[in-house]
Chains A and B, each alone.
Chain A
Amino acid sequence: MSSVNNFFEDALNLRAHRQQMLASNIANADTPNYKAVDVDFASVLKGAQSARGVLPMDTSASAHIKGHAGGPLNAAEMYRVPSQASIDGNTVDTNVEMAQFTDNAIHYQAVLSFLNAEVQMRKSAIQGQ
């Protein structure tokens, strides 16, 4: 049961993180030399799932190298390949970003409704009616 919740938690966190990245892209649509970024959602979610249960390495000094403990926020940023490069070095295509932003928002709501269904199911199990 909790593994299902972990999955939803990761997916929701990653969707929120991606929403923030796409917002940065749209906000910088007019900034010279800004490069649009995004994450590969499927592979990052898979990585976060396989990293579950792997404990982070303990460090006793600030100079120690931290262990890689997975989690959605370690999402690797990737630069978008522009279809029409603009002369000021900006690679944001507002149409693409808006489409992705809306798509991501709908997927976020989908994860929320799955989570809601999960909560309802547990409620009815507890009440036993």
Chain B
Amino acid sequence: MSMFNVFSIAGSALTAQSQRLNVVASNLANADSATSSTGQPYRAKQVVFSAVPLQAAGATGVKVTSVIEDPSPMKQVYDPKNPLADSKGYVSMPNVNVVEEMVNMISASRSYQTNVDMMNTAKTLLLKTLALGQ
């Protein structure tokens, strides 16, 4: 039954998109964390999606293969009163771009909704197939 595969495909996409949403949430929450458990400022994280073939022929799901750290330089903020300031009075702040993260969040939630819609359609079709001949 190919129609059941729609559930596993959309399910894999839901997992991937919600992981993306989690990463965005942690980036936004730590947009001002000048220090972390490593002693370094927080680095923005991004998910990497890749297509994975499922067991059935022609079915391709999606998976988060890795979470990478944004290599762009830290924001330098002049704040000599801060205990973390260097000798010139600059503090390294996280390289989180709040606007980019908001856009990423909206994109993830739209994709999530589309996949939920897809699951609902597949459910309707399967229920109608079950009622065949009645």
Residues of chain A at the chain B interface (Cβ within 8 Å): 13, 16-17, 19-21, 23-24, 26-32, 34, 37, 73, 75, 77, 94, 98, 101-102, 105, 108-109, 112, 115-116, 119
Contact = CB atoms under 8 A, between A and B. Distances in A.
Given A20-B56, A27-B60, A115-B132, A108 B125 contact: yes
Nearest to A73: B57
B36 to A, nearest CB: 28
Contacts, number: 93
A interface SS class: helix
Contact of B114 (A24, A26, A115, A119): A26
Nearest to A97: B114
Given A13-B2, A20-B6, 16 more contacts: A20-B56, A24-B9, A24-B59, A26-B13, A28-B13, A28-B49, A30-B107, A30-B111, A32-B50, A37-B58, A77-B58, A105-B125, A109-B128, A115-B132, A116-B133, A119-B133
A102 B62 CA distance: 21
Interface residues on B, range: 35 or more
Contact of A19 (B6, B62, B128): B6
